[in-house]
Structure 1
Amino acid sequence: MSDAGSFPIVAVKAGKVNDFSGKSIGTISTTRLFINPDLPEAHTLREWFDRVGKDSVSQSISKDVLPGGPKNEIRKTVSQIKDEGLGRSDKPDWITVRATISFIKTDTFCYTACPLMIGDRQCNKKVTRVGDARWQCDRCNQEFEECDYRYFLQAQIVDHTGITWVTAFQEAAEEIMEYPAKELYLLKYEEQDDDKFGEIIKSSLFNHFVFRLKIKEELYGDEQRVKVTVVKADKVDYSSESRRMLESISKFCRH
């Protein structure tokens, strides 16, 4: 129809607005498309297009990246995770949030992992102690003297709009804690130095980060839950953030 020059009005019901590389609209199982629908909004849009819209210069919103930020970075607030229903489609949502660590769960912050290689990847399955000096992996069906220690950090992050739980695994958790998982594990469970362990946890609270988050709905038992995973955590560069905010203000004022 467009090739023939008719330029139809397309209405999308139950579509998914995606912010990857800017704004785009995708479809899910319940999405419906209507061509030239008999709606007041469609008639208004047609009248505008026929009068001035067809001669107007269009502006792409598919690649709206602010200067100084990583390519395809989608900035959101904590409250938008829930308000926009992020993570509830077939594919995960990837966003960037500037927030503060407000709480760290300390009873399950890391686990003992299998160090054996399966092909080109480490097993990383949780292992159990056998006797006083050996560990066993049920997946690999082997015993060994030294295990690995890997983060499974659960924390709350907060910004000016709200609070949410996140999970950070090995590399991202090390960026947050600034300590290897093994060092903290031995401090808590072997040396049982609760005072020093507590001081390290305390020093990791209320630090400001720019979090790269992966958001995806997963099945836990019989319940669907949205899981927020920290992929990367960078300490806030206030100079860069100031430039970003000024650019955002400038773009808002221009519109």
Structure 2
Amino acid sequence: MAQLTEGAVQILFDNDLENPLHNNCLVQVINIKSIATTTGSTRYRIIISDGVHFMQAMLATVHATLVEQNELKKFTIIRLTESVCNLAQSRRILIVLQLEVVSNDVGSRLGEPASIDGTTAPKLVAGAPQQQQQQQQQQQQQQQQQQQHAQPLFMQNTASSYSTGGVNPQLESSLFPIKGLNPYQNKWVIKARVTQKSDIKTWANQRSEGKLFSVNLLDQTGEIKATAFKEQVDRLYPLMEEGRVYYISRARVTMAKKQFSTLDNEYELSFDHTTEIEQCSDEQAIPEMNYKFVKIADMDKHEKGALIDIIGIVVEDSGIQEIVSKATGRPTNKRELSLVDETQKQIRLTIWDRTAETFDASGTPTVACKGVRVNDFNGRSLSLSTSGLIKKNPDIPEAKKMQQWYASHGQSSSFSTFTNASANETGSFAPGTTPKLTIQDAKDRKLGENERADFFVVRGTIMFFKNENYSYPGCPDCRKKLIQEVSSWRCEKCQKNHDTPLYKYMLSFSIEDATGHLYLSAFDEAGAPLLKITANEMATLRETDEVACRNVFLDATHKTYNFKIKAFQTVFNDTARTKYQVLEATPIDYIRESQELVADIEKLTV
């Protein structure tokens, strides 16, 4: 039987995040109670014990299913891997964010644990009234100190949301670590350095428009991204300076949008009208930057799309190049740098836009990069993400060591580059072959995640059609989308006007097989045979008989085909996505399919 971690409850009760046992301890659940919430969902309050002490705890909502499926029950031993202690109604309660069930067949309580609340306060003993009074005063003082220690932080209202100055003793005594922030905290203050500040960006769509900016914040325990929107941009953008340290409180803690962040934190902050910021002059205690450098030779160990930090010497600069972005169709500038390090490896790093325009690579500088995306072009290459950061000759020990190595050995060394063979782990197939796979096979082989498209065949059944925006008015000559004018249709490419368009399919639908499902797209040549009606005829039907139009899609579902698919990758908002396009859909020839299946079985029995 697993041994409980003696002393764990005291560590959790004290919210001692620096103790290695805080996020790796074994405790026993000695009681479970369900609690109804105002939203109609059920949460569970538990009591945990380390065999010596016990304390109250609350399970995060994501773990409710463990109780409901009887995986987590009374006397179960669990491993706590992430939690935080909050103050609720003058009592401390542990919020369990992450856990692992170790053993749920114990059947009885281990040890004779006492309440941690009762043992932390001194006990009263018989004696003179004066002695009892002194003991009571000491107990009250200790309880006040415990409440101050446990409370996740309180910041008094001030006339202004921002002030400048030195060290604030009141805030210093109640700072909360970035690593411990979570949505269950109501009141907190962090002391953090702004390691990166973005430009003000604007957006506009059918639902809303506005502007935003973001900052990356760092303290001794971790990093977190914070974003301000709309009117808060005008209020807060002038107040925050990259490299400076601030006290920050009263921001909302939300789940991180990983596609827009390079930081290792599952949460992020959202500044609102209550957010308070105070500049701090004591900056030495907060590190300048937090890097987790990866050696160039170790790039093969990281999957395509992974975000890493890297440091190296710039030995080659391609200069500014203007290209047209595939995602936006707009011109953008890029610069390709060749980096080397002491592992005798060389890799290409691409930087973009204003960073590319302003970067000066003269003098073989050392660069430290944070938030670099790994690609597999030419084996392995790197691209600085939109939220990434590159610093030239940074004042850090790793950079000084790199410069010393290059001056003494590196500049006379030869370096090897990555090849396609070294990174070919995606299971792509030789040119000219179109393998027949299951849906799960295609996903496991990561088809479509290469620089070039992959092709394969899947036998699948159509389960659902998206019956909106399934066609477009096309040009009869070039098939590009037409723009409707007052009395005609205009093709910008051909510079011609047409009386009527030639509608073309742009279908979106899902298929399934025994192993999974896949979302596909199909253009006119592949889409028309599925619906057994042309896009022009469908456009007419849509205007005259909506019920008949819907029935066309219903009649086409639950039909099985062999789909020849092109898998390829697109990038939008710095997020790579794999798309699957149908090139051809052929009905199932069951006689031929059976013969192929028999042949495959015979190969296995040889």
On whether the aligned pair clears a TM of 0.5, the verdict is yes
Contact 2:461 2:558 in 1 (8 A): yes
- 2:439 equivalent in structure 1: 78
Residue 111 of structure 1 corresponds to 472
Q: Is 2:435 aligned against 1:92?
A: no
Q: 2:539 aligns with which of 185, 192, 207?
A: 185
Kindly indicate whether the alpha-carbon contact (under 8 Å) linking 1:211 and 1:234 is maintained by their aligned counterparts in 2. yes
Q: How far 1:243 moved relative to its partner?
A: 0.8
State the partner residue of 1:209. 561
Partner in structure 1 of residue 496 of structure 2: 142
Aligned to 1:35: none
Partner of 2:549: 197
- Partner SS state of residue 570, structure 2: strand
Q: After the TM superposition, which residues 125-140 of structure 1 pair with which residues of structure 2 at under 5 Å, given as runs?
A: 125-131=480-486, 133-140=487-494
Question: Which letter does structure 1 place at the counterpart of 2:442?
Answer: I
Q: CA deviation at 1:18?
A: 4.7
Q: CA deviation at 1:248?
A: 1.1
**Deviation at residue 73 of structure 1 after TM alignment:** 3.2
Quick check: 1:240 aligned with 2:592?
A: yes
Where does residue 14 of structure 1 map in the other structure?
423
**Alignment partners' CA distance in 2, 1:87 and 1:217:** 6
- Residue 194 (structure 1) shift: 1.3
User: Which secondary structure does the structure 1 equivalent of 2:437 belong to?
Assistant: coil
Give CA deviations for 1:134-173 in whole Å, capped at 9, x if unaligned.
Answer: 1112333321112111110111011000001111011110
Cα distance, 1:125–1:221 mapped onto 2, change above 3 Å: farther
Q: Tell me, in whole angstroms, the C-alpha distance in 1 between the residues paired with 2:604 and 2:424.
A: 26
Return the offset for 1:213.
0.5
Residue 253 in 1 paired to residue 576 in 2? no
Q: Secondary structure at the match of 2:429?
A: coil
What RMSD, in angstroms, separates the aligned Cα atoms of the two structures?
1.9
Which structure: larger Rg? Answer: 2
Contact 2:461 2:561 in 1 (8 A): yes
Partner residue of 2:576?
224
1-side partners of 2:584 and 2:469: how far apart?
Answer: 20
Q: Over residues 201-235 of structure 1, what are the superposed CA-to-partner deviations in whole Å (9 max), with x where a residue is unaligned?
A: 11100101000001011123432110101000001
Return the offset for 1:100: 0.6
Once the two structures are overlaid, the 10-residue window that deviates more, 137-146 or 201-210, is 137-146
Instruction: Determine if contact 1:79/1:162 at 8 Å carries over to the other structure.
Output: yes
Out of 512, 518, 522, which is 1:164 matched to?
518
One-letter amino acid matched to 2:483: T
CA distance 1:77–1:141, shift in 2 (3 Å): same
Give 1:101's match in structure 2, choosing from 455, 459, 462.
462
TM-score normalised by structure 2 residue count: 0.30
Shift of 1:13: 5.0
Q: Distance in 2 between matches of 1:77 and 1:197?
A: 32
Q: Which whole-Å CA distance do the structure 1 matches of 2:549 and 2:603 have between them?
A: 46
Does the 8 Å CA contact 1:103/1:157 hold for their aligned counterparts?
A: yes
Indicate if the aligned counterparts of 1:211 and 1:230 stay in contact, CA closer than 8 A.
yes
- The amino acid across from 1:108 in the alignment is N
Higher RCO structure (Cα 8 Å, ≥6 apart): 1
CA apart distance, 1:107: 0.5
Q: Count the aligned residue pairs.
A: 186
The aligned amino acid for 1:15 is N
What's the CA shift string for 1:45-100, capped at 9, x where partnerless? xxxxxxxxxxxxxxxxxxxxxxxxxx833011111222211111121111010001
Deviates more, 1:229-238 or 1:77-86: 77-86
Q: Residues 15 and 222 of structure 1: is their aligned pair in 2 closer, same or farther, counting only changes over 3 Å? A: closer
Q: How far is 1:249 from its partner?
A: 1.1
Q: Within 2, Cα distance between the matches of 1:194 and 1:222?
A: 39
2:483 and 2:590 mapped to 1: Cα distance? 44
SS of the aligned residue for 1:152 comes to strand
* Pairwise CA distance, 1:175: 1.9
Contact (CA 8 Å) 1:19, 1:74: kept in 2 or not? Answer: no
- Give the 3-state SS of the residue equivalent to 1:239 in structure 2: helix
2-structure distance, mates of 1:217, 1:252: 35
Structure 1, unpaired ranges of 5+? 1-11, 23-70, 117-122
How far did 1:14 drift?
3.4
